[in-house]
Amino acid sequence: MSIQFQHPFQDSQFEIFDWYPKFQSCQRYFLDHAQFSGPVQAVAALVNILLPFQKPSPPSPTPTRSAPPPATSARATGAVPGPQVSLVPYIRRLVVTGFDSPAVLHGFFGDDWHQGIGAVHETERRNFLFAAKSDSWLGVKSHYDMADGQTVPFLRPLQHVTEEEIRGAESNWSEWLAMQDWMLGPRAPHDVSEGRVRVKSERD
């Protein structure tokens, strides 16, 4: 059975079960290959974000006698989980520093980057537009700063923007402002409910 998944900041639909293996491929490539390559390490150093292998390992939990043994171990079933690393912080950092070109994304996430993290990349570009419209430069920078000294060294305006991308962001921004005014469901403005673009002023 196929399930249609709707992105919160994107009009297009895609098959989630077709997408997920591609996303996993991007994770594996990033963990197994990209983080150990010189070019990726250079970009990560410039934009001040630690790669997974550079982060200190968390201390191992002390076993307790009261903890019941698992009914079935992952190793016994052959499903040994790999390290779980979110790719979103890296995509966000590349977007706000202007390093989210196709070549760089390919270097970080491999051949399946477009199908695997392309939708996340588009959403984070739109989020960056929304952040710039919502707050000051200092506020936006603070939002994208990370812990452990991984502050954003610089912000660059969104790169390689298309008219279609701007129109899509305008439409979603109008929907968000309607949400702030509780203009939802039967109260939704006609142009928003019909999917037409209307750039609503914050003073409206």
Residue 63 lies in a domain: no
Query: Which of 60-69, 82-91, 174-183 shows the lowest per-residue confidence on average (mean pLDDT)?
Result: 60-69
Residue 5 lies in a domain: no
Q: Are residues 154 and 177 in the same domain?
A: no
Mean of the pLDDT values across residues 172-177? 90
Distance, in Å, from the CA atom of 10 to the CA atom of 118, rounded to the nearest integer, reads 12
Query: Based on the number of CB atoms within 10 Å of its own CB, is 79 exposed (0-12), middle (13-18) or buried (19 or more)?
Result: exposed
Q: Where do we find the tokens 């537009």?
A: 129
Give the residue among 87, 147, 84, 169 at the shortest CA–CA distance from 121: 87
Q: Are residues 111 and 128 in the same domain?
A: yes
Q: Are residues 148 and 187 in the same domain?
A: no
Distance, in Å, from the CA atom of 130 to the CA atom of 169, rounded to the nearest integer, reads 8
Domain extent, residue 182, equals 162-204
pLDDT at 13: 57
Contact 84, 7 (CB under 8 A): no
Count, in order, helices (H) and strands (E) of the chain.
Answer: 9, 2
Distance, in Å, from the CA atom of 16 to the CA atom of 110, rounded to the nearest integer, reads 20
Handedness of CA 96, 99, 100, 101 (dihedral sign): positive
Q: Are residues 41 and 101 in the same domain?
A: yes
Query: What DSSP character marks residue 16?
Result: H
Supply the mean pLDDT for the chain. 83
The tens digit of pLDDT for each residue in 61-70 reads 555 555 445 5
Residue 45 lies in a domain: yes
Contact 130, 177 (CB under 8 A): no
Residue 59 lies in a domain: no
Query: What DSSP character marks residue 15?
Result: E
pLDDT at 119: 95
Residue 32 lies in a domain: yes
Residue 55 structure tokens: 């982060």
pLDDT at 173: 92
Residue 190 lies in a domain: yes
132 three-class SS: helix
Residue 156 lies in a domain: yes
6 three-class SS: strand
The tens digit of pLDDT for each residue in 94-127 reads 999 999 999 999 999 999 999 999 999 999 999 9
Residue 43 lies in a domain: yes
